[in-house]
Amino acid sequence: MYKLIDGKAHSRGIREEIAKGVEDYRQKYSKDIGLAVVLVGDDGASQVYVRNKIKGCEEVGIKSFAYYLPMDSTQEQVEELVSELARNEAVHGILVQLPLPKGLDAQKILSLIPVEKDVDGFSESNLGKLCMNEECLVACTPNGVMQMLKREGIQTRGKNAVVVGRSNIVGKPMAMLLLNADATVTVCHSKTVNLKEICAGADILVAAIGRAKFITADMVKEGAVVIDVGMNRDENGKLCGDVDFENVKDKCSYITPVPGGVGPMTITMLLYNTLTAAQRSV
């Protein structure tokens, strides 16, 4: 019988801890913790994400600074804003909502965020420190996965972990976190040969490939822990993950649902990183 990993419940618990940490910081230093979010353009999904981030800040007591720039903003205008936020001592974390409109150099803009304010954990410096197993701000989604594993009491040491997906946002940092937690890690992708066999050997299987119901029952080991990072729409327009949940779940010891699994943890870990960044700044 599988156990559902409830991301909403874990998220609530962590947010309560963050709220206490924010209040302790305010009492000790007599100032607020600030998170700045920059949104360029009018992408609908990005607007929803930004609203949820602002709502999350309100919930835990972090002061949010939201900047909305028009679609036709120039590279120089966006860079000027990010540079200004980098110098602002009231801002402890900076997040530039991706994707940016075409014509803007996202990497150059992100490079202007100081490493200590990179609460998304996307900078070369933070990714490099993660690879070296040094203290850093960790990408929110994979960090959320690790928190769920820890809070469910799921052991990683000595386990065979397979990560399907090699993005800089999820796949690569996920692999590094599992490796740092003493798992034996295999990273798979679209060019991997014998993908089915590799996945079927995993004690912990993390699907982050962005293809609806890609992970099928014959790719899952009996008793495996399956973490579904995907967020897709199926043939009926219904929200689903990278895992064929209905056909996979009964082979698992633990599995995350979509929605309600990894998703709620991502913004929560952004808030966690912002608190961490503020604590390290004093």
Q: Is 6 a known active-site residue?
A: no
Residue whose tokens read 């999350």? 56
Which of 63, 117, 118, 120 is catalytic? The answer is: 120
From the list 12, 28, 21, 87, the residue with the least C-alpha distance to 273 is 21
Q: Is 53 a known active-site residue?
A: yes
Q: Is 120 a known active-site residue?
A: yes
Q: For residues 161 and 172, give the distance between their C-alpha atoms in angstroms, rounded to a whole number.
A: 13
Which of 53, 63, 129, 221 is catalytic? The answer is: 53
Q: For residues 185 and 43, give the distance between their C-alpha atoms in angstroms, rounded to a whole number.
A: 36
Which of 63, 97, 242, 244 is catalytic? The answer is: 97
Cα distances (Å, whole numbers) of residue 218 to 14, 85, 222, 249, 252: 35, 49, 10, 12, 12
Instruction: Identify whether the C-beta of residue 278 lies closer than 8 Å to the C-beta of residue 33.
Output: yes
Torsion angle, alpha carbons of 80, 84, 86, 88, to 10: -170
Catalytic positions are 53, 97, 120
